[in-house]
Structure 1
Amino acid sequence: MKFQRIPNLASIVVGAYNASRHIEETLDSLIHQTYPFIEIVVVNDGSTDNTDLIIQQWVQKHRDHPVIRENRFVYHPLPYNIGFSGAFTTGYFLARGEFIATMAADDLSHPERIAKQVAFLQANTNFCLCGSGIACFVDGNFEQQFVTDFVKYGYENIAGIYLSGGHCVCHGALMMRGSLFDLLGGLERYPAGTETTTEDVYFITRYVLRGYSVENLPEILYYYRIYPEQRSQQGF
């Protein structure tokens, strides 16, 4: 039986591992999205710090918000750490929305991020995945942002980069159609011998190889936090 996704609902999946320092600020950036019909799915990947307590306190603080009150907040603590790909794929399976967005537990989303990505996918039915421009900031200095040349634009250009082993879409800024996940599945540990080096690169590459179009919106809708303990510096 085909899974019946909820039309127009945007599910935002957050994978969290030892994220107590930043998870509250991250969730605040999601609860203040201008797009009203969202679902927040948090997978606590066996954290050993007080991530669980911070999340529970955050839920209590926002208990009157429609996302909490209408049961559109899903919290799934895992009994032990299964890693980046497993945590996010677990969240994708829990997501009920027509659209699935991703979010790192230490980054921030622009208030209009979800609204603009949903609008793009609704207006461009030939696209199945959508990222955005990103700005980086050093932890504690949000106002001092800088933009790198990592993100590329134009679906043919993006496809060519992935087909040649490159990478140009920020996984945390990604939104995809839920039906595409239902068809092709989530993140996998990349097989030995491939040119890609991380699960999120291989994830997007698999979709591109099957002919699905990806675009990055030109607006800065995602803010990438830089600090020594983050996954890209230390591993997840």
Structure 2
Amino acid sequence: MHELVSVIIPVYNGEKYIIQTLESVLNQTYHNLEIIIINDGSTDNTLKLLETVKSEIITIINQENKGVSHAKQVGLNNAKGHFIQYLDADDLLSLDKIEVQVNALKQHPNSIAVCSTIHFFDHENHLNNVPSEYEDKFLYSTDSPVDFLINLYGGNRNGGSMIQPNAFLTPISIINKMGGWDISISPCPDEDGEYFCRAILASEGIVYTSNTYNYYRKFLKKNSLSALKDRPATERLFKSILLKKEHLFKHKQTEQAKYAIAQQLISLAVETYPKYTSLSENIIEEINKIGTYSFLPISGGPMIQKLSKFIGWRLARKIQYKINKK
């Protein structure tokens, strides 16, 4: 039996890439698909282009611009599939990605499948690139999803990493168990992270499917959600990390789990100082509730990192902030 897979694609002003993205789904070796496209208030030619694609498996939902998490939830509400595949409107999947992951999940019910991600710049041919060796160190099959998450977050003092959400294939049974998208933290750079934190913890394991890929398009000029740096977005990011702490600590409160969350908060505390000093101090209060941790070297060149060791991270950040403003 070939279970239905729902591919959910939110799109906002995606005229440049949406057809290529769609082709990477329509040409999948797995054929029992429905494609749900949520046109999130696009003002360009996205809708006109979508209407030129003739396929019975495509459903287009138009709505006012409400943000990517809201759009994904609308897609989820309309999905009929046994498995859910999210896909950004400018990204691609290897043509066997869904088939390989469906077959893997048939062998491991109640698990989540994940594959490697190949990053490529807008001007590059995605087929010429390879996955990041560093990121791949964090991808493996396991029947301990909580430990997988702690390792991913850097709890084993390994630096930590991230998984681009298109790399996952998730059974609808897990999503029904863990709940939908948290619109209260949208938009922020970590709404996917909070969602898949819950998904991983609601699963019984992770299945890593090697040699099949998610292709993530990068841009030389950042214009994506991850570039959000204003105070409201930063406050929502703070809330997202606290939610992940709550989810994770329900399962484990080992020193590794505490360190994993503390490192995310430390990075945010440093990044927000001195632009949002009061917010940075609030974040530090939360860090102190978890434990006592040394702050990591601040981002930047060797000189600013050396400065932070001698004059402290706060003063070093003030200097860095003034230099960047100039």
Q: TM-score range by the shorter chain?
A: 0.7 to 0.9
Q: 1:19 aligns with which of 14, 18, 24?
A: 14
8 A contact 1:159–1:213 mirrored in 2: no
Structure-1 separation of matches of 2:189 and 2:222:
19
- Structure 1 residues not aligned, in runs of 5+: 1-5
SS at match of 2:82: strand
* Correspondence for 1:29: 24
What's the TM-score, normalizing by structure 2?
Answer: 0.60
User: Deviation at 1:140?
Assistant: 2.7
Identity %: 25
* Correspondence for 1:54: 49
8 A contact 1:13–1:40 mirrored in 2: yes
Q: Does 1:137 align with 2:131?
A: no
Q: 2:139 aligns with which of 149, 153, 160?
A: 153
Q: Does 1:121 align with 2:105?
A: yes
User: Deviation at 1:217?
Assistant: 2.0
Matched to 1:36, the amino acid is: H
Q: Does 1:40 align with 2:35?
A: yes
8 A contact 1:163–1:209 mirrored in 2: no
Structure-2 separation of matches of 1:144 and 1:14:
25
Q: 1:176 aligns with which of 170, 174, 185?
A: 170
8 A contact 2:96–2:212 mirrored in 1: no
* Correspondence for 1:205: 197
1:43-69 Cα deviation digits (max 9, x unpaired): 111111111111111x2xxx3xxxx2x
Matched to 1:161, the amino acid is: N
* Correspondence for 2:218: 226
Matched to 1:206, the amino acid is: R
What's the TM-score, normalizing by structure 1?
Answer: 0.81
8 A contact 2:185–2:191 mirrored in 1: no
Matched to 1:153, the amino acid is: L
8 A contact 1:97–1:178 mirrored in 2: yes
Q: Greater share of strand residues, 1 or 2?
A: 1
SS at match of 1:131: strand
SS at match of 1:104: coil
Structure-2 separation of matches of 1:180 and 1:210:
6
User: Deviation at 1:122?
Assistant: 0.7
User: Deviation at 1:190?
Assistant: 6.2
* Correspondence for 2:59: 74
State the number of aligned residues: 216
Matched to 1:231, the amino acid is: S
Matches within 5 A, 1:93-104: 93-104=77-88
Q: Structure 1 residues 35, 211: CA separation in 2 closer, same or farther (over 3 Å shift)? A: closer
- Structure 2 residues not aligned, in runs of 5+: 234-326
Runs of 4 or more consecutive aligned structure 1 residues displaced over 6 Å after TM superposition: none
Which structure would you say has the larger Rg?
A: 2
Structure possessing the higher relative contact order (Cα contacts under 8 Å, 6 or more residues apart): 1
8 A contact 1:138–1:144 mirrored in 2: no
